[in-house]
Structure 1
């Protein structure tokens, strides 16, 4: 027997215009992280108030880094999973992004939330595909066209070409002569609303010319590559970027390429599934992508539980099914799974609970009986529904990962730089205190100091480059061996199949083995790179520490903090769709057109080599360049900071106590430094 009084309470909810205060619920897990950022900000503010120009400049730069921290969350999902509706609910605008876009739409929409901005600073930026990207689509039909062309799938290729031509002509009709001129351009707006967004990310069906058109929906959507919306949300406690991706299931596989890049740029990925679909072989493209991300960085949100007749019972079964599918297909089996409803969340935000359908309201009560527990705090109906929607649980999961992941990494990196600034001031102060006459001299002349710093920089950068060359050479060899071994095994399997079954039985071969080998090679490269980079950074920091000791006459226990090595980005491209992943009639046609076993083998080898080469090349070039560039820039920045600090203190090497107080603040400098050091030490302990 259901609680009809509960249903009445929901239907009698207040009809306030907005309940954005609900966005605060679920972010409580960020309190510890925010306290640490405030402590670090206080240290940097103290350092920025020092009268020494170099210290002040460095501290202000670090403050800007801290204030600019914007963790990003990439949303990917199944078709009809309600992903965009979920994104709208997460940012407190239930109808902001169009949730029923045409499958051709390939726009990545990034929602940049800033609690400190003013509402008047809301703005939007839209980027269009450039000429090369558009030409690839038009001339080759995107990834799908390239694949079909290699496979000799004439029928499929013709379909792709027809669809491309249709899309091109519709775009020309909508945009006229401006069509080509817009490619590679940007449109910026000082504000935005739902109608503006629809012009860029939602495809309409019929458009007239500029004079006769009655709708501007989707006017630029064919050529829009990305949309950035900047908005104020005081209820969200930190800057956050929520990135809505187009998915992985469009005709031309453009979406897949765009989504791969979006995931690679984020530390957290939310996979949105429909409660009616769970995970199946249809979603293998999705599973392949997330299988290359650490389980801790993947959150699975099962949406649309409002459409389940008995969520209290069905949800356990759905979760078991999802986990079994992930285990079977090498996905992130330990990923956190959250169940909820963007539909419920939207109604809670809009104060329209009385608009829930009877079936949805009944599902809500069914889910409430299983998940809500009695508490002293009495929630409003909107708060109850908001919690049942799963959004607060999703916020809590994001808060944990920000606090322990990208947020903590940023704090550790900036805190080490702040610690080095404080240690520099302390070193100069120590030198002053060690001189009875109060007029210390710098123990190293400027030219010697410059020479030593140059020697450290040259040696460190050269070693970094040499060590990378060694690691990359070994990594490339491992990738090439894996690639060659896979092609040999697959070709041998094909020949064996033909000898046993002939040409009428279609042969299939899973590329999972190749992906596992490539992933293993990349993981080994990543681990070796992290160790090598850390060792080199530690060595550079020891060399700088020695200069401090010589220049200021310090004890042996003085140490400069080494920079933190950057995270190795996940190899998302390994999950890219290749020919062997696609099962369909065009494969059958391809086999039947070949004549002779050698033709099968040679053509197969050639086609799969062409299909997999881009993946291997991306792992060799793009991923390696990202890791090496990060390491090089981090090292250069560290050395530049130390050069600036040491040269600055060298210029003050002959100052007396009064001069020192004038440069570094006041007679209370030592007390302030101790307070800073204690704060930084506490942050370091938390990091450990």
Structure 2
């Protein structure tokens, strides 16, 4: 569905809300909130100096907005909101650290505290403490007495310039360095205490509201930066992994992919930047791309990750006209080597010629550079994947729920008209009987929900035990080596421990267990549906509505979230210093214990997330069903008033209009497909 369809669904839902009963109104309000806040997020991740910030400037069309020379000391996540649900289109909010958050960074979070009860992690912790203290010291020197007052606060700027942004996200020079420090410069003034930046724009050239995020580098001297980036992975729907054409798929890049390997691969695209700096042009770029694909295949197996190529520098020229370092012959040679982009260029030039006034040579050259940069292809790839992915599912589910309410209201208003037109005297039960029936159905749903929850908890408890046993066995095999020779004791380069098979097995276990839970839920929901409808059919004068079936699509479409498997294993980074602190004979057993603890925590996160998601979907199904039943019971009787016929006709006309509008919002052919899926 398009952005206009989303807005149309919101309008129709608000229309329905005005005439719904209290129970239905509460559910429809949730649908409106979900649709209003539907805003996918795209995170650009990769090594420092891979060109992420300049690439984001080209991707968003905001030339030179993000500083492209951010010092590695900066720890700021920058969210760029396009078409934010709040309606805000300008300015920014900057959130500052507080003392609790500082302490959390120093302590590396509760998980690491539980993992290392003694001094074995002192090496890394000491480095983090030193770096954080250096950040605090610089902030005190820059901010003076206002330092303490700013902690935990935020600045909200109605308008924002690149210079403003630089004060919050760029490090600037060190105020303790008298030779280098410029006391008149405010660049980096707040950067050491800024935790997160949120910048607002209109929707721009994107087809729907979304957030684009610039993350810190993953191989930075500041150790907390990688932890900040890793935690933010959980907040994004799509990832653009930026590689440099000069050193594509280095060790640091592969580590990043291993962190992300448990994500659905359709949520990742690789963009190889700086192809303009390759001496052999398109030919060298083709070799680089082949190497990247080969490396991903070896590291991740059948990854199916798309690899795009281009140049943020070419996009920068296209947006600004700055020709520094631009070779126009190289741009045209690139287009000639890529027929699809050449066609985009030629078609675009023809379109430009149709516009008013003469076409300039510079305009043509800048347009060629933008197409060659690969940024239009990247935008198209990302927005298409998001449209076809979770965003589309959320819109389909919202439409289904709204449509079932609309069809139910249409059925009720039609039945009421028939009764009034034939002048039949309604003998429906009074309001007390309706209330008793609804209360009984709610009690049935509550009892069944408790049974479903207990059964689910039993299955997930068994999953935890099986997963812990699997972790212990698999970690022991990897750490101790298949032949009894632990790779941790090997001489030479850094040790690589391959836990990919374990991660895959953990994913299979959680998928299998949640499939069992899902099927049992569907069986119990079917029982609730049957018992509820049997109770309704026993009521005097009850007429079977067309939409009395429970919509279980939220549970049927459930797939477990396995993003916890993206978490890196700390011991892979600690082996070298660990072996210096303790005897080599103890390295293997201590490392095995640490890795088991980390994977067990990952397993706990997988199970807890699955349980929370399943309960949320179960409640969605049952809340929707109870709202429908309440509507049916409320409309069982005729009014007997003089104006009843007029009111009934108005209700019918309104219900017909809303049902027709919902059919148009999705298109009749698409709507039939959705209804067929729901009936399966």
Instruction: Provide the TM-score with structure 2 as the length reference.
Output: 0.82
Give the structure 2 partner of residue 86 of structure 1: 55
Question: Which residue of 402, 406, 418 corresponds with 2:386?
Answer: 402
**1:465 counterpart = 2:458:** no
Distance 1:124 1:236, change over 3 A: same
Work out the CA distance in 1 between the residues paired with 2:193 and 2:186: 15
**1:594 counterpart = 2:583:** yes
Once the two structures are TM-superposed, the CA of residue 235 in structure 1 deviates from its matched residue by: 3.5
Work out the CA distance in 2 between the residues paired with 1:73 and 1:189: 24
Deviations along 1:525-555, one digit per CA (max 9) or x if unpaired, are: 4544554555555555556655665664116
Deviations along 1:40-64, one digit per CA (max 9) or x if unpaired, are: 4564465356587877776566445
Deviations along 1:435-491, one digit per CA (max 9) or x if unpaired, are: 332554545722323223312430342133123202311221222012211343245
Work out the CA distance in 2 between the residues paired with 1:294 and 1:415: 25
2:408–2:545 Cα contact (<8 Å) kept: no
**1:106 counterpart = 2:75:** yes
Work out the CA distance in 2 between the residues paired with 1:99 and 1:543: 63
Distance 1:532 1:349, change over 3 A: farther
Once the two structures are TM-superposed, the CA of residue 336 in structure 1 deviates from its matched residue by: 1.7
**1:219 counterpart = 2:189:** yes
Work out the CA distance in 2 between the residues paired with 1:240 and 1:570: 21
Matches within 5 A, 1:539-688: 540=528, 552-554=542-544, 558-565=548-555, 568=559, 570-582=561-573, 585-586=576-577, 588-590=579-581, 593-594=582-583, 597=585, 599-621=586-608, 623-624=609-610, 626-635=612-621, 637-639=623-625, 641-642=627-628, 645-646=631-632, 648-649=634-635, 653-654=638-639, 658-659=643-644, 661-662=646-647, 665=650, 668-669=653-654, 671-672=656-657, 675-676=660-661, 678-679=663-664, 682-685=669-672, 687=674, 688=677
2:76–2:216 Cα contact (<8 Å) kept: yes
Work out the CA distance in 2 between the residues paired with 1:137 and 1:51: 49
Once the two structures are TM-superposed, the CA of residue 126 in structure 1 deviates from its matched residue by: 2.2
**1:477 counterpart = 2:465:** yes
Q: Which moved more, 1:561-570 or 1:268-277?
A: 561-570
1:270–1:298 Cα contact (<8 Å) kept: yes
Give the structure 1 partner of residue 283 of structure 2: 313
Matches within 5 A, 1:189-588: 189-207=157-175, 213-251=183-221, 253-330=223-300, 333-350=303-320, 352=321, 355-358=323-326, 360-371=327-338, 372-374=341-343, 375=346, 378=350, 380=352, 381=364, 382-435=366-419, 436-437=422-423, 440-443=426-429, 445-490=433-478, 492-493=480-481, 496-497=484-485, 508=495, 510-512=497-499, 513-535=501-523, 540=528, 552-554=542-544, 558-565=548-555, 568=559, 570-582=561-573, 585-586=576-577, 588=579
Q: CA RMSD in A?
A: 3.9
**1:170 counterpart = 2:158:** no
Distance 1:100 1:661, change over 3 A: farther
Deviations along 1:265-318, one digit per CA (max 9) or x if unpaired, are: 332222111222221223232111221111212111222222223332122212
Deviations along 1:364-418, one digit per CA (max 9) or x if unpaired, are: 1221111244556525523332222212211221232222112211221211221
Distance 1:137 1:625, change over 3 A: same
Deviations along 1:100-141, one digit per CA (max 9) or x if unpaired, are: 2222322222111118987x7423222233433311333569
3-state DSSP of counterpart to 1:279: coil
Work out the CA distance in 2 between the residues paired with 1:173 and 1:664: 74
Distance 1:204 1:534, change over 3 A: farther
Once the two structures are TM-superposed, the CA of residue 239 in structure 1 deviates from its matched residue by: 0.9
1:578–1:611 Cα contact (<8 Å) kept: yes
Distance 1:541 1:246, change over 3 A: farther
Work out the CA distance in 1 between the residues paired with 2:25 and 2:84: 27
Distance 1:342 1:659, change over 3 A: farther
3-state DSSP of counterpart to 1:230: strand
Work out the CA distance in 2 between the residues paired with 1:309 and 1:506: 32
1:160–1:251 Cα contact (<8 Å) kept: no
2:242–2:270 Cα contact (<8 Å) kept: yes
Please, which runs of 5 or more residues in structure 1 have no aligned partner?
A: 1-31
Work out the CA distance in 2 between the residues paired with 1:420 and 1:174: 60
Work out the CA distance in 2 between the residues paired with 1:604 and 1:54: 55
Instruction: Provide the TM-score with structure 1 as the length reference.
Output: 0.81
Distance 1:458 1:143, change over 3 A: closer
Q: Which moved more, 1:286-295 or 1:429-438?
A: 429-438
Work out the CA distance in 2 between the residues paired with 1:577 and 1:61: 36
Deviations along 1:562-619, one digit per CA (max 9) or x if unpaired, are: 35247546433323332442387535524xx416x4x444433344345545434433
2:494–2:576 Cα contact (<8 Å) kept: no
2:128–2:223 Cα contact (<8 Å) kept: no
2:41–2:236 Cα contact (<8 Å) kept: yes
Give the structure 2 partner of residue 29 of structure 1: none
Once the two structures are TM-superposed, the CA of residue 518 in structure 1 deviates from its matched residue by: 2.7
Distance 1:40 1:539, change over 3 A: farther
Report which structure shows greater RCO (CA 8 Å, sep ≥6).
1
Distance 1:433 1:318, change over 3 A: same
Work out the CA distance in 2 between the residues paired with 1:673 and 1:162: 63
1:76–1:246 Cα contact (<8 Å) kept: yes
Distance 1:589 1:315, change over 3 A: same
Give the structure 2 partner of residue 72 of structure 1: 41
1:291–1:332 Cα contact (<8 Å) kept: no
Work out the CA distance in 2 between the residues paired with 1:151 and 1:321: 42
- Give the paired residue count: 644
Give the structure 1 partner of residue 358 of structure 2: none
3-state DSSP of counterpart to 1:269: strand
Work out the CA distance in 2 between the residues paired with 1:505 and 1:234: 52
